[in-house]
Structure 1
């Protein structure tokens, strides 16, 4: 036992749950140190990269993110991302199939989990489940765009994998989960860039 919880205070329970916890932590040398940390609990999530090997394409989405916009007024708030969402009591596989249909219009049945990651473990409790799935045009049953009642206004992008990686390099793609999946795609799915 290396942690003893002393006190937990709820600071906010509006959009999600923000808590301040005071605890004792046993250091590697055996001594105990009292610490205090704020944690933001928004639940766990899932993210997916749709890819087409024959066409060397991936499907991403573009949407407005207020925290990116609000950061110093230097960003327009629009981010290019892989489709993602919170689990909301569903399994990661169930939720990501529903989320990708809502956001992109593609209905994929066979999704493959590639890894899990804590995205900001210094303050956010979220653990993200990363998936990939092959797609083709026959699987597109709608326009996507997200759920308007949830404030979603999503543009669907189909990009060449090399163009998407170039967008990471030049800063047009700045979303961490998307960068991770695109790098996975380069290393494990597509291989070297296409010949000119």
Structure 2
């Protein structure tokens, strides 16, 4: 049996429980590590630890009686992020002799330290998401490498945040049936494909309107993440900004022109709220600073086959003649061209079918219905 000292996110008991699994019988107690300091990793929702001057103390958890399986699961969870175990000695908070153990140190020079680590602040913003993300990570234990998990982790966090929003947001049932998750019996679940996106297949039965349960069926869904849709509008100049880029969907379908006209759009990163994502994506895709965001109705664009959920906005902003150009995040292989056009031209493009992206069509028609009020009061 071995032991480890945790100073960061694994001090969150629900997260530690998911990583270790229900069969773990390890012992957990508070302890402190002297002559070390823990910082946030700059621009990341997790910490790093480093040696420091005498007098600094890091408080955390000493986890003892770890089985080989426990250690393997912990190394799988931490390994892809270039953390490696190093020897330390900690003091249990309840007193007693010092305990030799190990702690996960980051690869030197890999991360830049930010402010001092604050577990309570992390838990308030990221704790629930981290637990949900860890469930997906540990489902892959024994199937993929830690490095594979590290590459997929941004989208895993995005999907985790999507799941939390789905649980927490209002779900009115004024017209539709009040049937809920308790009326679906999932007998088996598997993930036959998982990369940037994933596919989930479930064997299930569901309650019918007669009140009886359906036959057992096999169903699958494309698992994306929640996304923002942003149509920038300048009411003074009566202009909109569209983006154009290459898209895989039209290509795979066989469209002879797989470059599409769209609103600004992008995934809501783990830990973001939709409004933050909308402003970030506008800068990344079009170099555009947004003023007021007008939320439209959030929606499932294709609920029969996809988990994707859209948060659309009309964004009031300034669109001068030079607002267009080439944008996108180079590290994500984005090559995006912006077009600043009169509102009437947008509606002509929708009418001819050249603008055939569903979220753009819906946002365009909303703007057509509300444009005069926006021009009057903006």
Q: TM-score if structure 1 supplies the norm length?
A: 0.90
Structure 2 unaligned residues grouped into runs of 5+: 1-181, 374-378
Q: How large is the Cα RMSD of the aligned pairs?
A: 1.8
User: Bigger relative contact order, structure 1 or 2, given CA contacts below 8 A and separation 6+?
Assistant: 1
Q: Does the Cα contact within 8 Å between 2:228 and 2:277 map onto a contact in 1?
A: yes
- Confirm whether residue 44 of structure 1 aligns to residue 226 of structure 2: yes
* Deviates most, 33-42 or 120-129: 33-42
In structure 2, the partner of 1:68 is 250
Q: Once the 2 structures are TM-superposed, how far is the Cα of residue 41 of structure 1 from its aligned partner?
A: 1.1
Q: Does the Cα contact within 8 Å between 1:117 and 1:129 map onto a contact in 2?
A: yes
- Confirm whether residue 128 of structure 1 aligns to residue 310 of structure 2: yes
Structure 1 unaligned residues grouped into runs of 5+: 192-196
CA distance in 1, matches of 2:316, 2:279: 12
- Confirm whether residue 27 of structure 1 aligns to residue 203 of structure 2: no
Q: Does the Cα contact within 8 Å between 1:44 and 1:126 map onto a contact in 2?
A: yes
- Confirm whether residue 17 of structure 1 aligns to residue 223 of structure 2: no
1:168-189 Cα offsets, whole Å, 9 max, x none, are 1111101000111001100112
Q: Once the 2 structures are TM-superposed, how far is the Cα of residue 135 of structure 1 from its aligned partner?
A: 1.1
Q: Once the 2 structures are TM-superposed, how far is the Cα of residue 113 of structure 1 from its aligned partner?
A: 1.1
1:8 to 184, 189, 192: 189
In structure 2, the partner of 1:194 is none
Q: Does the Cα contact within 8 Å between 1:106 and 1:142 map onto a contact in 2?
A: no
Query: Residues 184, 171 of structure 1: CA spacing in aligned structure 2 closer, same or farther, 3 A cutoff?
Result: same
Q: Once the 2 structures are TM-superposed, how far is the Cα of residue 109 of structure 1 from its aligned partner?
A: 4.2
Secondary structure of the corresponding residue to residue 15 of structure 1: coil
CA distance in 2, matches of 1:124, 1:26: 21
CA distance in 1, matches of 2:350, 2:323: 29
2:268 to 87, 92, 109: 87
1:72-99 Cα offsets, whole Å, 9 max, x none, are 2x32211000000000111100011000
In structure 1, the partner of 2:110 is none
Once the two structures are superposed, the pairs formed by residues 74-113 of structure 1 within 5 Å of their partners are 74-89=255-270, 90-113=272-295
1:31-87 Cα offsets, whole Å, 9 max, x none, are 211222111111100011111112111011010102212212x32211000000000
Q: Does the Cα contact within 8 Å between 1:101 and 1:144 map onto a contact in 2?
A: no
Secondary structure of the corresponding residue to residue 122 of structure 1: coil
Q: Once the 2 structures are TM-superposed, how far is the Cα of residue 21 of structure 1 from its aligned partner?
A: 0.5
Name the structure with the higher helix share: 2
Q: Does the Cα contact within 8 Å between 1:42 and 1:125 map onto a contact in 2?
A: yes
Name the structure with the higher strand share: 1
Query: Residues 184, 142 of structure 1: CA spacing in aligned structure 2 closer, same or farther, 3 A cutoff?
Result: closer
Q: Once the 2 structures are TM-superposed, how far is the Cα of residue 190 of structure 1 from its aligned partner?
A: 3.8
